[in-house]
Amino acid sequence: MASLESGAATLPELARVPWRDRTSEATLRRDSRRWTACTAAHTLPHLATAGALAALNPLTVPLGAILLGHAWVVPELYAARGAKVTRVTGRPEAKAARVTGRPGTQAEAVALGLLGDLLDHRARELHARSGLALEPGRFGAWLLGPSGAILVRPGGRIVHCYCVRVTEAQLPPSDRTAHLLLALREDEAGFATLANLVFAGVTWRLRRRLAGSARSALEEAVRQARAIQPAGPGDDSR
């Protein structure tokens, strides 16, 4: 299995976000812990209140049930936001069709051919089924779509969802994915630095929110991530 190689090159786009720490194993673990703490801060008060109310007066159990529902819904909403990064919209195709006079599907077919050339056989098949490109990396297995990326961390238990896209609005979906793929291959840490984190959490929670085809792509990414050795704490240079 190939993996993203380390190198001196950095994405030029990083000049736009000089305040961000360059992504490393340490920052990924920190982001994951922060997300867990944030989720706990949103849910534990509901759980505690529901328990306290039930202890004080059993008549408040229905109210406690509503609070428990809130405690369940909040992380689900976060996961739903993460799942949105895999959405493939038809809008860029329609825009391309308007600009070129060519059917959007024709531009997409051309773009798909190029993306297919960039992917290996298995990744190409997975993309045909799901619209998502699977790319192994040092930080885990990446799933790339036209407007975002999912990083399945080594071991497959934790995912990070990123909103990231090419700034050109009139590209067919496969070209948008190819942009992300090339940027990721150029500089994985820079790619993760540039992208906006929209969800970090357990894989099962995200899986439930994905469409069927994206879910099968996630399963494949999890299988790949299980084969990736986690980097050590001192292995952050890239």
Partner 1 sequence: MSQLIRMDHTGHSTLAEWTSGDAASALAAAAALREQLEEGWFAVVSEGPGRARQVRELPLDAPLVILRRPIAGG
In the complex, the residues that contact partner 1 under the rule CB under 8 A are 2-5, 7, 9, 11-13, 16-17, 95-96, 99-100, 102, 106-114, 117-120, 123, 135-137, 147-148, 162-168, 170-172, 174-175, 178-180, 182-183, 185-186, 191, 194-196
| Burial tier of 231 (Cβ tally within 10 Å: 0-12, 13-18, 19+) | middle
* Smaller CB separation from partner 1, 186 or 219: 186
To the nearest whole angstrom, how small is the minimum distance from the Cβ of residue 70 to partner 1? 28
* Smaller CB separation from partner 1, 41 or 94: 94
To the nearest whole angstrom, how small is the minimum distance from the Cβ of residue 147 to partner 1? 6
Q: Which two tokens stand for residue 140?
A: 């885990």
What is the DSSP code string of 114-156? HHHHHS-HHHHHHHHHHS-EEEE-SSSEEEEETTEEEEEPTTS
* Smaller CB separation from partner 1, 71 or 192: 192
Q: Check if the beta carbon of residue 99 is closer than 8 Å to that of residue 192.
A: no
CA–CA separation, 36 and 21 (whole Å)? 20
Alpha helices in 84-103 (DSSP H): 91-100
To the nearest whole angstrom, how small is the minimum distance from the Cβ of residue 112 to partner 1? 8
CA–CA separation, 77 and 20 (whole Å)? 26
To the nearest whole angstrom, how small is the minimum distance from the Cβ of residue 46 to partner 1? 30
* Smaller CB separation from partner 1, 50 or 149: 149
To the nearest whole angstrom, how small is the minimum distance from the Cβ of residue 163 to partner 1? 4
* Smaller CB separation from partner 1, 29 or 81: 81
What is the DSSP code string of 49-75? HHHHHHHH-GGGHHHHHHHHHHHHHHH
* Smaller CB separation from partner 1, 57 or 100: 100
Q: Which two tokens stand for residue 230?
A: 């986690």
What is the distance of C-alpha 33 from the center of its chain? 17
